[in-house]
Amino acid sequence: MSVQPKIAISRRLRSTPWTSRLHQQGVKGFTVYNHMLLPTEFESLEADYWHLCEHVQVWDVGAERQVELTGPDASKLVQLMTPRDVSKVAIGQCVYVPLVDEGGKLINDPVGLKLGDQTWWLSVADSDVWLWAKGLATGAMLDVSIREPEVWPLAVQGPKAETLMARVFGSDVKDIRFFRFAKLDYQGHAFIVARSGWSKQGGFEIYVDDATLGQAMYDELFAQGEDLNVGPGCPNLIERLESGLLSYGNDMDFAHSPLEAGLGGFLHLDAKIDSLSLPALRRERDAGPTKKIVGLLVPAPYGEMPIAERPFAASSDVDCNFIGSQAWSPRYKHQLASAMVASELLLSDTITIDLLDGTQVEARIADIPFDFAALQIDAAV
């Protein structure tokens, strides 16, 4: 019998206030995200998926690190980094801000929180944004300080999330609108609570800045949620693919532009803003993108066989014709995937791909997010 290799959890691979609780609750897998542990699975991907869609889950997403920008030039730096116009973002608002470099390539795709006139948090995906931000601020001689504070987001997601949150934080939580945040009291400490999260099942994110209170809060969410069938959870691959939520590093990375990643709708390329990537992105828009992210669908019976993780067509561009993420959807009975595809292959409705066992099948091409109704794919359950 072979020994399962282990990942050594050292100081470099940081835990969160809840890591030991996850072990007690039977976590089955972790990934490494921002040099931290991010759980990926509890019971099974599929069991976790149904539970998330029907009940409520508490997620340790402490790996979504905050990059804090404070000072007179904080907003200027945010605008320099993103081609989305942030000039009208209000204090108390969250905003999805793809960060793009001078060549028009994605650095990260965080949620920004405007905490004050001179303070922002960027709740980052997996790349070292604080180093990029410090470099830019130094080069541009901006009056802003940059650090990663000790903050660990805790997400409460699922259709019963609001009921559970109201029991722990009071009914004020119900007044928080989507992508807004408020400061709510828990045991005498004000926590930032936003209506947001990396699922489309509804819910909240608590930005926990006190580890001890965070542990009490975690335990209380489970105690108060017993009759709601609360369970431990994490971002779920099936649910987020069905919902079209992209994962930086998987679906797209530093080789891709936000236009190729389908994020053009979030950007303001014609705004009069001082943003590093605007010239490159305007040129790309005018020339037309050479590749694009799309969804792929393989129906049952093949669908339960994963798609081979190798380029599905030859190309001189090594940054396309690959599968980004994939999962079997138990609801729609299809293997779902994201793929970055060369534009010439998108003239057709299907793409020939290899399954893991070598079988060749035609995968249907769709937009992300998948519009299952328009695709005439009914939920099987």
Which of residues 197 and 231 has its CB atom nearest to ligand THG in the complex?
Answer: 197
- C-beta of 174: minimal distance to ligand THG in Å? 20
- C-beta of 96: minimal distance to ligand THG in Å? 4
What CA–CA distance (Å, rounded) separates 4 from 250? 25
Q: Taking the CB of residue 261, how many other CB atoms lie within 10 A of it?
A: 24
Using CB under 6 A, list all residues that contact ligand THG. 64, 96, 109-111, 123-125, 153, 179, 196-198, 205, 245
- C-beta of 64: minimal distance to ligand THG in Å? 4
- C-beta of 156: minimal distance to ligand THG in Å? 12
Which of residues 60 and 205 has its CB atom nearest to ligand THG in the complex?
Answer: 205
Which of residues 124 and 146 has its CB atom nearest to ligand THG in the complex?
Answer: 124
Please, are residues 56 and 229 in contact by the beta-carbon 8 Å criterion? yes
Which of residues 109 and 162 has its CB atom nearest to ligand THG in the complex?
Answer: 109
- C-beta of 372: minimal distance to ligand THG in Å? 16
DSSP 333-374: TEEEEEEEEEGGGGGSSEEEEEBTTS-EEEEEEE-SS--TTT
Backbone angles phi, psi at 328, to 5 degrees: -80, 125
Helix, strand, coil share of the chain (percent; to 5) = 25, 30, 45
Give residue for tokens 């999260």: 197
The amino acid that residue 218 corresponds to is Y
Distance of CA 158 to the CA centre of its chain: 16
Nearest to 37 by CA among 56, 58, 20: 20
Which of residues 49 and 302 has its CB atom nearest to ligand THG in the complex?
Answer: 49
Which of residues 22 and 124 has its CB atom nearest to ligand THG in the complex?
Answer: 124
Please, are residues 228 and 240 in contact by the beta-carbon 8 Å criterion? no
- C-beta of 354: minimal distance to ligand THG in Å? 29
